[in-house]
Structure 1
């Protein structure tokens, strides 16, 4: 009986051990399959459509998963790559500025690959939904750049991302998602006012978002850690606030189409200082070119640069600082002056100067004057005191009556030094009176000042050559 029990126990133990062995063999067979499946990644599915622009309205769709499309579309790995990304879409249609910018880039740069990012399927949603999609589209661009890097050994530093509105944020996200040591070579953007969180890598600094309200318009361009704030001069037509935003695109296009009329912007603390003309200084990288041909400057902190632009292309305006000194002004007065400049190339025409503060004692005023033409070397200045500017109160008028003549003496301004500085050339010209009494100006009187002898162009050039 005891022998039977022992045999049963041995059989049961043997059966269990065989079962455990079989189970272990099945597990060992399944493990290699699992290890083989886990590393396999599904193909990346892009939410955006990328098209290589070839001119006119001709584009060719690129598919990063099908490399032959790059070759068939005419992508040249020897040329730099510019990727244009639009913003939020109201009607689901590609805005006309996209093709205009692509045409300007292709026409003027010639040897360049221009790619347009089409994310209209996501951009044509309610704005908050479109905002949420910006990171997704940024990853699409990153995937395209990384595919070119892996398959074509195309360096990211040859890539220039250009984005408008939400497209600027997308471009920034694309730069931040790029892995490895390679960074996007350049990012140019005019971001929307809606903050989307920390912004992007910019060669390789961060793009920061900042807006400044100038006479009702928010105007800003971000280029390589520099903020360009431009004041719109609206002449002869109505313009909505959108012009202050989309205007940046046309300013960038203008910089490509009008190489001989590049707009210059100047570093300044605020707009009030800028309109006084005290910021037209280009020393130590205090000024820069607006647009494609910007001079790359590495700065530790963000800098704001200001400029004025014209109402239509070409938008360039020439900036001049007018400085005038008044001396021994016994009575306070608030005149309106008109000046006219004559240069070796052009004449300015009449420019009205209005004083924000009254003139009294010894004081110096500066003003910013902008013109749509280059005057050349300044040679002559005509100054006129508008006749409507009289003494502001009866007491001052009484004080000017000559007792024995019974006549009222006209108000008088006594001027000291007068100079004009051209921002674009950085040349300052001093003006001297043509007559001995030329420093005195009466109401409704014209005075002509000429370039001082010690400041003549030939003598100035000699000084520069020493």
Structure 2
């Protein structure tokens, strides 16, 4: 093994340990102390809502031309600042609330902490001020000099890079709107438990500001929309709870999990905080107590893209590939290990503002496991909805949990299909975790070689599974299904035939709600053979006949109704 490969392997091991340390070890992560926020908000004596002397947060009205700079601050209780900032009371008002700026994802300092001689079983332990212990080990007997690159949590006092992007996207969609950014950096720049506790005070600041500006300008409550990310989502919730009138809408962008997962509604975002509360959950991996984003549903509609866990393109392999290709420059992507999935909630929302022709659909489902079987692609009775800005504001007494898949870059939209297939086999064959590929050919395009894994593959059973494609193929005409060769040799490869018979495929499109039956192209059956040729299926004549019969029945019913009306 060459020195370059050895050193790359060491970086892999080190970064793996860093990631595991940041995400899982409760004893080593004091910054993620998960003491639940409890108790009631600070006392609210009579007239507290009009006492502006204790407001610490700042409210910057950003502009279309300079979305990344605080050109003008509106001071609560100072009407002249409203005029100076040219606030427009006749249009929509968006209030953006950032999260913890001491977040692992905010900014990093890459530290060449130690250069040491590494040998077999030699271990170097590095302890950082925030309470993170990094252990870098070298298992190879060869001796080489290697650089241990570690991440130091850093107080930055700067806005996160997504803020101007969201400001610009809101102005792109609503050019005449007011887009206000809440600056609570002095309180967000603390250890996590401290900043989490401050959300109650910042929420009071926002409640006072919203109440004052609404009364000062007779601003309709229906035109006020709060958007909060991470801790900022809970700030928005506290503010909505304290105002004397329901805010129109609060959008929670992956609300923070630590200290809030089991907190009461007064201290967290909840559906009682606004007329409509929609929430995106994008980083809920791990146990509830250690999840970066809150796992439980807290809004009227809670959407869990890709199951709400790690998002596409946010895995450690992508970061390590950057390091391998770009060296030290690639390390600038190190923060993606932590912030990528958490921040994806923001970029999905921005995507909904900008890509109006590619709106992403989500589907109501009891669990992500059921959704991954393709069994929830229904739009009946408000069971599907658009993700983001254009969501249909459906209010119910219980939170509606919705799921969808996305791709890793914007536009994030993919097309969802449920595939149902009945397998026949005379032998009692059964396999697990089998690699498959499916190809779709339609009137608008095609998508070949979509890879997926079937958890169970056995004879005389009906399987249902979900597949997605980022290509709009139009109306499906041909489908090809292939059973890939497994890397593990099975006894059936030697003593039996790994083959199933398939007569039909039933495919439902989530986006169009169409259901189509496909029959084997040649003969009564198509054969699914491990490592063999793909089975080819074409649009069924039976399906076409059923459609014609349904259409004729519909026309007859309409005719009979017309006759009744004429009578």
TM-score under structure 2 length normalisation: 0.67
Alpha-carbon separation, structure 1, partners of 2:446 and 2:456 = 28
1:346 maps onto 2:425 in alignment:
no
SS of residue matched to 2:63: strand
1:450 maps onto 2:529 in alignment:
no
Structure 1 window deviating more from structure 2 (299-308 vs 448-457): it is 448-457
The alpha-carbon deviation at position 164 of structure 1 amounts to 0.6
Structure 2 CA distance for partners of 1:123 and 1:460, relative to 1, 3 Å: farther
Structure 2 CA distance for partners of 1:388 and 1:118, relative to 1, 3 Å: closer
Alignment check: 8 A CA contact 1:261 1:314 kept: yes
1:253 maps onto 2:350 in alignment:
yes
Q: Is the radius of gyration larger for structure 1 or structure 2?
A: 1
2:380 aligned residue (267, 283, 292): 283
The alpha-carbon deviation at position 368 of structure 1 amounts to 0.9
1:129 maps onto 2:194 in alignment:
yes
1:274 aligned residue (371, 381, 388): 371
1:315 maps onto 2:412 in alignment:
yes
1:64 maps onto 2:79 in alignment:
no
Structure 2 CA distance for partners of 1:261 and 1:218, relative to 1, 3 Å: farther
Deviations 1:230-254 (A, max 9, x none): 2222387235243221110111111
Unaligned runs of 5+ in 1: 1-37, 401-409
Query: Corresponding residue for 1:110?
Result: 175
Structure 2 CA distance for partners of 1:389 and 1:250, relative to 1, 3 Å: closer
1:303 aligned residue (397, 400, 403): 400
Query: Corresponding residue for 1:22?
Result: none
Query: Corresponding residue for 2:558?
Result: none
1:166 maps onto 2:166 in alignment:
no
TM-score under structure 1 length normalisation: 0.80
Alignment check: 8 A CA contact 1:220 1:248 kept: no
Alpha-carbon separation, structure 2, partners of 1:314 and 1:437 = 41
What is the aligned length? Answer: 415
Alignment check: 8 A CA contact 1:344 1:375 kept: yes
Query: Corresponding residue for 2:116?
Result: none
1:81-230 to structure 2, matched below 5 A, reads 81-90=93-102, 91-179=156-244, 182-189=245-252, 190-194=254-258, 195=260, 197-198=264-265, 199-200=268-269, 201-204=272-275, 212-213=284-285, 224-230=299-305
Alignment check: 8 A CA contact 2:279 2:298 kept: no
1:75 maps onto 2:122 in alignment:
no
Structure 1 window deviating more from structure 2 (44-53 vs 411-420): it is 411-420
Deviations 1:234-290 (A, max 9, x none): 387235243221110111111111111111111111121111111111111111111
Deviations 1:358-399 (A, max 9, x none): 412x211111111111111000012334355999436x955x
Query: Corresponding residue for 2:484?
Result: 386
SS of residue matched to 2:535: strand
Q: How large is the RMSD of aligned CA atoms in angstroms? A: 3.2
Alignment check: 8 A CA contact 1:202 1:225 kept: no
Structure 2 CA distance for partners of 1:424 and 1:298, relative to 1, 3 Å: same
Structure 1 window deviating more from structure 2 (193-202 vs 40-49): it is 40-49
Alpha-carbon separation, structure 2, partners of 1:151 and 1:387 = 70
Alpha-carbon separation, structure 2, partners of 1:457 and 1:348 = 27
Alpha-carbon separation, structure 2, partners of 1:102 and 1:460 = 51
The alpha-carbon deviation at position 111 of structure 1 amounts to 2.2
Alpha-carbon separation, structure 1, partners of 2:509 and 2:292 = 27
Alignment check: 8 A CA contact 2:76 2:209 kept: yes
Query: Corresponding residue for 1:376?
Result: 474
Alpha-carbon separation, structure 1, partners of 2:424 and 2:75 = 73
Structure 2 CA distance for partners of 1:85 and 1:152, relative to 1, 3 Å: same
Alpha-carbon separation, structure 1, partners of 2:353 and 2:298 = 15
Query: Corresponding residue for 1:233?
Result: 312
The alpha-carbon deviation at position 324 of structure 1 amounts to 0.9
